[in-house]
Amino acid sequence: MSISKPTGAPGSYFAALGVTTEVLREVMADALSKGGDNCDLYFEHSSSISVALTDGKVNRASTHISLGMGVRVRFKDQVGYAYSEDLSPSALRIAARTAAGIANASQPRKVAVPVAMSLPNHYPVISPWTEVDIQHRVKMVRGWEQSAFQSDTRIQRVEVSLSDAAKVVMIVRPDGRLVEDWRPMTRASIQCTAEGTGPDGETVRESNGYNIAGRAGLEYYDEQRSARLVSEAVERTIFLIDAISPAPGEMPVVLGAGPSAILLHEAIGHGMEADFNRKRISIYADKMNTVIANKHVTIVDDGTLLGARGSINVDDEGNNTERTVLVENGRLVSYMHDEVSAEHYGIKPTGSGRRQSFRHAPMPRMRSTVMEAGTLDPEEIIASVSKGIYCKTFSNGAVHIGGGDFSFYMKTGFLIENGKLSTPIKDVNIIGNGPEALLRIDMVGNDPLVDEGGWTCGKDGQSVPVSQGMPTVRVSSLVVGGEQ
């Protein structure tokens, strides 16, 4: 039930649903009828399908379709927003006039004739999901389940899901820009339950899993990635059986390459979204062009990574996406901007205006947030710690934007004793302060890795897909949860 990539000229997909050029101009004219400074129309048609295996059977499927248009009217820093799930001209115009109410000037603005613009393609698809029948999905899910059971006799139960989705979005602006983007997404997840003998000889039952996601077709699940999906799910579950809770307190923390980039996302990324800085409520609001990290630290937010879950060909305001350098050799050089913040600061937007769906107004969001490689071998970093922990995988994180406090939940890791990884550890929250943690990153590895997990970022009630990555780093001190 996925939506095929449109083959017609940009704009023709929604024109076939009655949204003609003339309708677009009328709706935008209504949106700006009360003197709004600018507006955007965001049309979206999305579809998804998921099949799931539980209790040994591929016995559940779900599909979802969503269609609508959101209209945002800007008046200075103010936003009026409305949406319609009915694409008839009359319904669209009612939504536009509702959003227009944010402004109170008397002079309506002019609307140019929409002209389609071409886009780059950061997510080429070789085998579209529209050509994959449900029997094939069932076969894939069944195969992964069997592989998981065959991997380790301690695996007791396996749950698997495979989903794919696609959306066509069209963004139209009063200056005449019209862009249309087709955005595929696929995600696979395996959850295992295992039973074994714990560190004290007791019987332990644990559950854990692994998921992967990207903007891709069936080709995403090649032999190597499929094998990794299974092996990671199994190994991450078995790992927990022997693991313990570490002792609590402040200590050096080595963050392994890849998933540890949740540190970037929570401790740094959100605070560099420009809306928080425009409002002067981010802890980074007064730090532009100052040194905020060790000189070995360079952080970028990139919308152009090939096939990455966080990639976009164009942002949800119709602006080109890009690779935005946020921190360059320790110096803060840019925030992530949507149009509202870019206008506030008098600069170009960074293509970071994103939204969950047509039901939501865009705002600055992360795409793929990554730290660039340093020079040190990961082993050298671990060897530098006499007593601390090494974090391998994570489940989630959170941040207070203004205070800068952040936390992330470590699912699996190791104690570090005398420069070596020792006892497996699990299930502890790690907490710190963003700017302080940045300054405490004192070693950066040469092993950068973009994590392939299906990360989703939440902000102000909106969820968007993101990616993240980093090399192995050492943070000289963070507060680690745990038990005595």
| Binding to other proteins in span 143-202, by CB under 8 A | 156-157, 159, 191, 193
Residue selected from 23, 28, 166, 361 as contacting other proteins according to rule CB under 8 A: 361
The reply on whether position 1 binds other proteins by CB under 8 A is: yes
Q: Candidates 2, 33, 38, 98: give the one binding other proteins (CB under 8 A).
A: 98
For other proteins, the closer of residues 87 and 421 by Cβ is 87
Binding test (CB under 8 A) with other proteins, winner from 395, 423, 446, 462: 395
Which member of 118, 133, 201, 224 binds other proteins (CB under 8 A)?
133
Residues 6+ apart with CB under 8 A from 379: none
Question: Rounded to an integer, what is the distance from CA 47 to the centroid of its chain?
Answer: 19
Contacts 24+ apart (CB under 8 A), 409-413: 411/208, 411/236, 412/208, 412/236, 412/239, 412/240, 412/243, 413/256, 413/389
Phi, psi of 156, deg, nearest 5: -100, -40
Tokens of 274: 């420009």
Q: Rounded to an integer, what distance in angstroms lies between the CA atom of residue 216 and that of residue 184? A: 6
Q: Specify the residue for token string 């969001």.
A: 365
Q: Which stretch binds other proteins (CB under 8 A): 25-33, 147-155, 172-180, 428-436?
A: 428-436
Please name which of 227, 226, 224, 144 lies closest in space to residue 192, comparing C-alpha atoms. 144
- Please state, in angstroms and rounded to a whole number, the distance separating the CA atoms of residues 227 and 219: 14
Residues numbered 23-82 forming contacts with other proteins, rule: CB under 8 A: 49, 51, 54-55, 57-68, 76-82
130 binds other proteins (CB under 8 A): no
Q: How many other CB atoms are found less than 10 A from the CB of residue 477?
A: 16
What's the DSSP call for residue 122? S
Residue 346 Ramachandran class (φ > 0 left, ψ -120 to 50 alpha, else beta): left
For residues 399 and 370, what is the distance between their CA atoms, to the nearest angstrom? 18
**Would you say 246 or 378 has its CB closer to other proteins?**
246
Please state, as a whole number, how many other Cβ atoms lie within 10 Å of the Cβ of residue 126.
Answer: 9
C-beta of 23 vs 430, nearer to other proteins:
430
Q: Which is nearer to other proteins, 406 or 455 (CB)?
A: 406
430 binding other proteins? (CB under 8 A):
yes
> Closer CB to other proteins, residue 150 or residue 207?
207
Nearest distance from C-beta of residue 369 to other proteins, angstroms: 17
Question: Which residue from 463, 298, 284 is spatially nearest to 365, judged by alpha carbons?
Answer: 463
Shortest Cβ 1–other proteins spacing (Å): 6
CB-CB contact of 119 with 313 (8 Å): yes
Query: Would you call 146 helix, strand, or coil by DSSP?
Result: helix
How many residues at the interface with other proteins, by CB under 8 A? 89
| Helices and strands in the chain, H and E counts | 10, 23
Give the one residue of 8, 16, 22, 85 binding other proteins; rule: CB under 8 A.
85
> Which of 30, 40, 372, 427: binder of other proteins (CB under 8 A)?
427
| Tokens at 316, concatenated | 């949800």
* Contacting residue, 423, 429, 446, 462, with other proteins by CB under 8 A: 429
Which residues between 250 and 279 bind other proteins (CB under 8 A)?
Answer: 250, 266, 279
Among 107, 286, 289, 418, binds other proteins (CB under 8 A): 286
User: Do 73 and 79 form a contact (C-beta atoms < 8 A)?
Assistant: yes
CB of 417 to other proteins, least distance (A): 19
Q: Is 379 in the site for other proteins (CB under 8 A)?
A: no
Tell me: does residue 384 bind other proteins (CB under 8 A).
no
Query: Which one of the spans 26-34, 163-171, 205-213, 224-232 is the region binding other proteins (CB under 8 A)?
Result: 205-213
Q: Please tell me whether residue 476 binds other proteins under the rule CB under 8 A.
A: no
Within residues 207-236, the interface with other proteins by CB under 8 A covers: 207
